[in-house]
């Protein structure tokens, strides 16, 4: 087997995630998209911006980076995510 300088590319299959956000967060995201258009002269939808926003957030979280480097324990496959009540969700 040949050892190329470029390693095997990672899985690039996109994953679709559906979320519900508060009206306040939705408005903030729409406002951000407007400011993005003003700053760069290009219109991007909120859905197009969110993955990059999340990536930037995770990249900037030092505690998260440290935990990943040390090996994050695998989430229980049988665990179901907890649903938050409407009042808890609005505070996010």
Identify whether 52 is part of a domain.
yes
Identify whether 66 is part of a domain.
yes
Identify whether 79 is part of a domain.
no
Q: Per-residue confidence of the chain (92 residues) as pLDDT tens digits? A: 678 888 888 888 999 999 999 999 999 999 999 999 999 999 999 999 999 999 999 999 999 999 999 998 766 544 555 665 555 545 44
Identify whether 29 is part of a domain.
yes
Find out whether 33 and 41 touch, Cβ atoms under 8 Å.
no
- The CA–CA distances, whole Å, from 88 to 26, 27, 51, 55, 91 equal 16, 18, 24, 24, 5
Identify whether 17 is part of a domain.
no
pLDDT of residue 1: 63
Q: Domain range spanning residue 67?
A: 23-72
Identify whether 59 is part of a domain.
yes
pLDDT of residue 19: 95
Provide the domain count of the chain: 1
pLDDT of residue 68: 92
């Amino acid at each position: 087997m040949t050892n190329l300088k470029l390693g095997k590319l990672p899985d690039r299959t996109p994953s679709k995630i559906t979320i519900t956000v508060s009206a306040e967060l939705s408005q903030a995201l729409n406002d951000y998209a407007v400011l993005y258009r003003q700053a760069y002269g290009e219109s991007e939808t909120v859905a197009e911006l969110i993955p990059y926003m999340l990536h930037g957030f995770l990249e900037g979280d030092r505690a998260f980076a440290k935990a990943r480097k040390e090996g994050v324990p695998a989430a229980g496959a049988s665990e179901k995510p907890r649903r938050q009540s409407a009042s808890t969700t609005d505070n996010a």
